């Protein structure tokens, strides 16, 4: 109950001659309803008195809750661990790539990465409105269509594009698409931690491949391991089933869903972003030194965790000072540009394809971060333009009647210009909070 001051023994009725006046504020206006203090619960001893004009202002609540830094760092590291699954599958299945032509892994990466970007955007919207089961069905339908397209390509492509073993090419492509579908479903249903645990067998197979473990010796006895290529499909299917478990559980209601025009435009933008990023990866991969992929993959592996943490921190700074957010973001995005330009200058001077591939890896990581940061902040149009600029620039340079510098030098130059322009776009969009899409 609410405790009120006691009244005297006199009559509680107010005399008619008493002048009743409504209390007024400091300017003679009736007080606002917001200033009326009521007890939050009937068991409280009483309502607190209204604040006095001379009282000290209340403490301003900061934009970050306790433990927010640990939360976004943990989420970024978890996504990086999730991204190791396709890399481990590629390392473990590297031996089978000798039996197929070069375009097979390139087309698999192009189709899988493009579909993953578009279906992740659409699946998140569906999961928010219709639940994770409906989102899983959407992702499954999308990758099922891409798998059908891959089967048609294998059936119709000439031997020069597929290789002598069409069956192996078909299995390699379907395995790569299944791995990308696993990552997409995990991101859509927020089951990253569980899928990372179920991806440990593929990590073990990748470690066995790198260590060249063909047998296990115990007390002088040599126990041969099963072939990695035999166990790898089982490891892929294991993670795939866990990722799509929400759509497989019995009794899950089938909710109808339909994407709005805004969601369709965002998904189309992510489709262009994914295709452009895959083309850049393929160009640097094919233009690098033959027989060695370390100069290209090394900067990406180092930069992805740092850039993921930077993006997560930037998104979590709602309500912070914009100049501080802009400054920290630009400082975090400058090292890829600086290192990439430095290695590019050294590569041009020495005509070294390895240094140019290393420069392309640094610049590509920075462009990825700029693209995803703009898309996460709602600037999907700007992100699409930044992502599509390098492939368009490389195509124009190859078509112009100028002395050709080569595919890899053109790619490095286009990525450097795009990275520098992207920093300006990030600075302008981070300082402008009037637009959210």
Residues contacting 297, CB < 8 A, separation 6+: 361
> What whole-number percentage of the chain has pLDDT above 70?
72
Cα-based distances in Å from 174 to 20, 64, 102, 137, 170: 84, 43, 16, 18, 6
State pLDDT tens for residues 199-238. 999 998 888 888 776 655 555 555 556 677 788 899 999 9
Count of all residues that appear for the chain in the document = 437
Q: What angle do CA 62, 66, 67 make, to 5 degrees?
A: 135
The shares of helix, strand and coil residues in the chain, as percent rounded to the nearest 5, are 70, 0, 30
Q: Write the pLDDT tens digit of every residue in 113-140.
A: 999 999 999 999 998 888 888 899 999 9
Contact 288, 295 (CB under 8 A): yes
What confidence tens digit (pLDDT) does each residue in 5-14 have? Answer: 344 444 445 4
Treating both helix axes as pointing N-terminal to C-terminal, what angle do 132-156 and 166-189 enclose, rounded to 10 degrees? 160
Residue 275 makes CB contacts below 8 A (sequence gap 6+) with 110, 113, 114
- If residue 218 lies in a helix (H) or strand (E), which one and from where to where? strand 215-218
Helix and strand totals (H; E) in the chain: 15, 2
pLDDT tens-digit readout, 63-101 = 445 455 566 677 777 888 888 888 888 888 887 888 888
pLDDT of residue 74: 76
pLDDT at 60 over 70: no
pTM equals 0.75
In this predicted structure, what is the pLDDT of residue 165? 84
111's torsion region: left (phi>0), alpha (psi -120 to 50) or beta?
alpha
pLDDT score, position 405: 67
Q: Stretch 184-194: mean pLDDT, rounded?
A: 91
Lowest mean pLDDT among 44-48, 271-275, 298-302: 44-48
């Amino acid at each position: 109950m609410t405790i009120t001051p006691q009244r005297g023994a006199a009559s509680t009725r107010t005399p008619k001659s008493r002048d009743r006046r409504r209390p007024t504020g400091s300017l003679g206006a009736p007080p606002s309803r917001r200033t009326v203090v009521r007890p939050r619960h009937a068991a409280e001893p009483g309502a607190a008195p209204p604040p006095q004009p001379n009282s000290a202002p209340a403490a301003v609540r900061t934009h970050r809750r306790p433990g927010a830094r640990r939360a976004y760092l943990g989420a970024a590291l978890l996504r990086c661990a999730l991204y190791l699954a396709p890399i481990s599958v590629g390392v473990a299945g590297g031996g089978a790539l000798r039996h197929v032509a070069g375009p097979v892994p390139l087309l698999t990466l192009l189709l899988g990465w493009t579909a993953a970007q578009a279906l992740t955007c659409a699946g998140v919207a569906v999961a928010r409105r219709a639940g994770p089961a409906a989102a899983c069905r959407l992702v499954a339908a999308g990758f099922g269509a891409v798998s059908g397209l891959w089967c048609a390509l294998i059936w119709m492509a000439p031997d020069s594009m597929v290789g002598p073993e069409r069956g192996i090419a078909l299995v390699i492509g379907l395995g790569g698409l299944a791995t990308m579908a696993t990552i997409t479903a995990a991101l859509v249903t927020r089951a990253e931690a569980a899928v990372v645990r179920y991806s440990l067998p593929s990590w073990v197979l990748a470690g066995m491949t790198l260590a060249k473990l063909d047998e296990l010796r115990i007390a002088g006895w040599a126990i041969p391991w099963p072939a990695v290529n035999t166990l790898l499909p089982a490891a892929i299917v294991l993670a795939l089933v866990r990722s799509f478990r929400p759509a497989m559980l019995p009794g899950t209601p089938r909710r109808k869903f339909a994407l709005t025009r805004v969601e369709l435009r965002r998904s189309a933008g992510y489709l262009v972003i994914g295709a452009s990023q895959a083309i850049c990866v393929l160009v640097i991969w094919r233009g690098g030194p033959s027989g060695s992929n370390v100069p290209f993959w090394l900067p990406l592996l180092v930069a992805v965790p740092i850039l993921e943490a930077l993006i997560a921190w930037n998104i979590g700074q709602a309500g912070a000072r914009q100049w501080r957010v802009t400054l920290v973001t630009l400082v975090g995005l400058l090292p890829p540009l600086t290192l990439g330009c430095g290695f590019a200058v050294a590569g041009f001077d020495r005509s070294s394809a390895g240094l140019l591939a290393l420069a392309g890896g640094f610049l590509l990581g920075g462009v990825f971060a700029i693209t995803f940061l703009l898309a996460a902040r709602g600037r999907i149009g700007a992100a699409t333009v930044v992502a599509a600029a390098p492939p368009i620039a490389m195509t124009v340079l190859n078509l112009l009647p100028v002395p050709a510098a080569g595919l890899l030098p053109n790619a490095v130059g286009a990525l450097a210009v795009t990275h520098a322009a992207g920093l300006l776009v990030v600075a302008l969009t981070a300082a402008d909070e009037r637009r959210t899409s």
